[in-house]
Amino acid sequence: MKILHTADWHIGKKLYKKDLYQDFDLFIEWLCSLVKTERIEVILVSGDIYDISNPSSEARSQYYRTLLALRDLKCKIIITGGNHDSPSVLNAPKEILKQLDIDVIGGLPEQINDTLIPIKNELGKVEAVVAAIPFIRDADLRNMGDAHDYDSRLIAIREGITAVFKEASDLCALHYEGIPAIAMGHLYAAGVSTSESEREIQIGNLASFEADNFGDYFSYVALGHIHKPQQLTTSIPTYYSGSPLPLSFSESQDLKRVLIFDLEDHAVTSVEIPVFRKLIRIKGELEHIKQKLQSLEVQTGLNSFIEIELQSVQHDANLIYELDQLVSQFECSGYEIVKQKISFSEKAPAMTDFYQVEQELENLSPQDVFLKLLEKSTFEPEMKNEIISSFQEILEEVNQGN
């Protein structure tokens, strides 16, 4: 029996206000093909199904279409909630989904026994059991009431999470003796490498969970929350599958993947996910950015998203204007600039740099302040005259309005 592990779908995610619905559809199309080729019998999705707790109707529709596409492949599907998910939203259709052989556990049940899901073969024999543990919220932990300060809260969270996994493994051993057990989890483990797109979890990630606390009973631990795929150093196979799509520009170089766990020999296979859309970061001075944009070659498929960061030493209004012009005039088939920003290593001059300390700003006219600022700019004389003229027109309109 082959079990596929994925997580952090973040359906409905926007990258700088750009929808990623097409990207996710392409991922699911690829995933369905992989399931057929590898004859996958179980799919585990370890949390953060949606990007926000109250997803849009379009995001919910894509989620249900995805489940139907996977269900048509005759797979057992187990889904747990993440820190981005609302347990009530995920749990709402769970009884209907259960009839389609799709188990959903949006939040931690009162009885840990309810997280145990047996996996049966075609003959009805239980071949494995999954402890489908979702994101554990502070309110789920029984010992949190004893925590009265910051340090005791950290200890209580770590001990509480450890206790949940310990109880789950004990119940697996009690009710499914001799049958391989797999745990699902959605948490921040100590020592992992993160990206810019993960939301902090449980006191700013300080309550990190030691991987050894999963114990040594489970045959495999399928984790979610961290978007960069990685294996934890522990006595049992413990993996973050990572997100299937890059969800921030910091993930643009990550090799996205799903994992396949073979129940027969306990082998773990990493399968790389194709890149459906490139994320390109361009940093440097203006000329460097121009050269990089001019060197782009026309491409087909989903538009590549570009993030530009102009870097300069001193604050220069001309550079801001030139970058705006460069971005507004950029045209290259297959590419789209979705973010531009400017960083100056030297702080921009403040008003106190322009006037003597004894001068009060309230004693100066708006035009005095504006002209003083303009004196320090690097605009050409002709441009300065145009700016002054525009400012005077705006000032007149404001005065007339008063």
380 or 145: which leads in pLDDT: 380
Q: Is the pLDDT of residue 309 over 70?
A: yes
**What's the confidence (pLDDT) of residue 213?**
87
Q: Token match 């030297």: residue? A: 346
- C-alpha angle with apex 317: 314 to 322, nearest 5 degrees? 110
Query: Rounded to whole angstroms, what are the CA distances from 390 to 319, 371, 396?
Result: 20, 12, 10
b/e per residue, 268-299, with b = 16+ CB within 10 A? eeeeebebbbbbbebeeebeebbebbeebeee
Work out the percent of the chain whose per-residue pLDDT is above 90.
65
Domain ranges of the chain: 2-272, 278-348, 357-402
What architecture is domain 278-348? 2-Layer Sandwich (3.30)
**What's the confidence (pLDDT) of residue 64?**
97
Q: Which has the closest alpha carbon to 161: 94, 197, 200, 208?
A: 208
Residue 357's pLDDT band, with cuts at 50, 70 and 90, is: very low
Q: Looking at residues 7-20, what average pLDDT do you find?
A: 96
The pLDDT mean for the chain works out to 87
**What's the confidence (pLDDT) of residue 146?**
62
Q: Which has the closest alpha carbon to 1: 110, 52, 76?
A: 76
Contact 338, 305 (CB under 8 A): yes
Q: Looking at residues 18-35, what average pLDDT do you find?
A: 97
What architecture is domain 2-272? 4-Layer Sandwich (3.60)
**What's the confidence (pLDDT) of residue 347?**
64
Q: Is the pLDDT of residue 358 over 50?
A: no
Residue 144's pLDDT band, with cuts at 50, 70 and 90, is: low
**What's the confidence (pLDDT) of residue 359?**
47
Residue 80's pLDDT band, with cuts at 50, 70 and 90, is: very high
Q: Looking at residues 13-41, what average pLDDT do you find?
A: 96
Residue 37's pLDDT band, with cuts at 50, 70 and 90, is: very high
213 CB contacts (<8 Å, ≥6 apart)?
158, 161, 162, 165
Q: Is the pLDDT of residue 351 over 70?
A: no
The model's pLDDT over 156-209, given as tens digits with 9 standing for 90+, comes to: 888 899 999 999 999 999 999 999 999 999 998 876 666 666 665 554 455 577
Q: Which has the closest alpha carbon to 30: 254, 256, 279?
A: 256
List 128's β-bridge partners, or say none: 119
Among 17-21, 36-40, 43-47, 149-153, which is the least confidently predicted range?
A: 149-153
**What's the confidence (pLDDT) of residue 366?**
75
| Token pair belonging to 323 | 């970058």
